[in-house]
Amino acid sequence: MIDINQLIAGFRRFRQAHFAEHDTLYQQLVEQGQTPQVLVVACCDSRVDPALVFNCHPGDLFVIRNVANLVPPREGHSGHHGTTAAIEYGVKKLGVKHIIVLGHAHCGGISALVNTNGVSTPDSYMDDWMSLAESARKEVEVTFSQATPDVKYRECEMRAILVSLENLKTFPWISERVENGSLILHGWYFDIGHGELLRYEESTRAFQAA
Ligand SMILES: [Zn+2]
């Protein structure tokens, strides 16, 4: 458990070590602005920090984090579409070349979805949000009806990534770029327990070790 004062102490260490070591990089990023090539949609989960997992520097990744790393489909303009707005900024303004939907093992959002059995709690923002992956849950329930909860969670975590990849293509400014080759979509899965990265391969329709 981290004490809140440790964050201040941590920042001081960061400033003395990391910031001092990369001062030229930070100066460049301030003067020239950020030009990340990769946008990552990751989970809020405290164990899945994309910059840490991919060993990246400041300026490398444009990261969006939400519960269960979900991407909503194209919808009307009413409402506050935080994830969609950030994706729009990354694609249109920053011109990222890749979007990675980064799922992970032991996802609390996905296990909550699987455990609802399709019945949402009224007034739950979380249930409403997780209903984005309802098609993945249904598929798993049908295909793995006799499986253990752990198998269902893992299957649903992976299938939810594919739902998000499909949802990304519902935005014309994404599908156009994918079609002309200027944007590539990726579905990746970080297995926390084993420290492994799996990547979805379109040709085999399966997640394979990176
Ligand atoms: Zn998660």
* DSSP letter for each residue of 148-170: -HHHHHHHHHHHHHHHHHHHHTT
Please give the Cα distance from 142 to 197 (Å, whole number).
27
**Length of the chain in terms of residues written:** 210
Provide the pLDDT for residue 76.
87
- What is the Å distance from ligand 1's center to 24 Cα? 34
- What is the Å distance from ligand 1's center to 45 Cα? 5
Q: How far is CA 172 from CA 16, 73, 75, 85, 88, in A?
A: 45, 11, 12, 14, 11
- What is the Å distance from ligand 1's center to 46 Cα? 9
- What is the Å distance from ligand 1's center to 63 Cα? 15
Domains in the chain, CATH or no CATH each: 1-33 (no CATH), 34-209 (3.40.1050.10)
pLDDT band for position 13 (50/70/90)? very high
- What is the Å distance from ligand 1's center to 169 Cα? 22
Average pLDDT over residues 181-209: 97
Full DSSP string of 51-119 = HHHTTPPTTSEEEEEEGGG--PPP--S-S--HHHHHHHIIIIIS--SEEEEEEETT-HHHHHHHHHTT-
Q: Does an H or E element contain 5, and which?
A: helix 4-14
Please give the Cα distance from 88 to 161 (Å, whole number).
19
| Angle of CA points 116, 121, 127, to nearest 5° | 70
- What is the Å distance from ligand 1's center to 103 Cα? 7
- What is the Å distance from ligand 1's center to 44 Cα? 6
Among 127, 154, 156, 151, which Cα is nearest to 139's?
A: 156
- What is the Å distance from ligand 1's center to 105 Cα? 8
- What is the Å distance from ligand 1's center to 22 Cα? 31
- What is the Å distance from ligand 1's center to 50 Cα? 12
Quote the pTM value.
Answer: 0.96
| For residue 78, pLDDT beyond 90 | no
Among 166, 161, 148, which Cα is nearest to 206's?
A: 161
**Terminal alpha carbon distance of the chain:** 32
pLDDT band for position 77 (50/70/90)? confident
- What is the Å distance from ligand 1's center to 69 Cα? 7
**Amino acid in position 67:** V
Provide the pLDDT for residue 27.
96
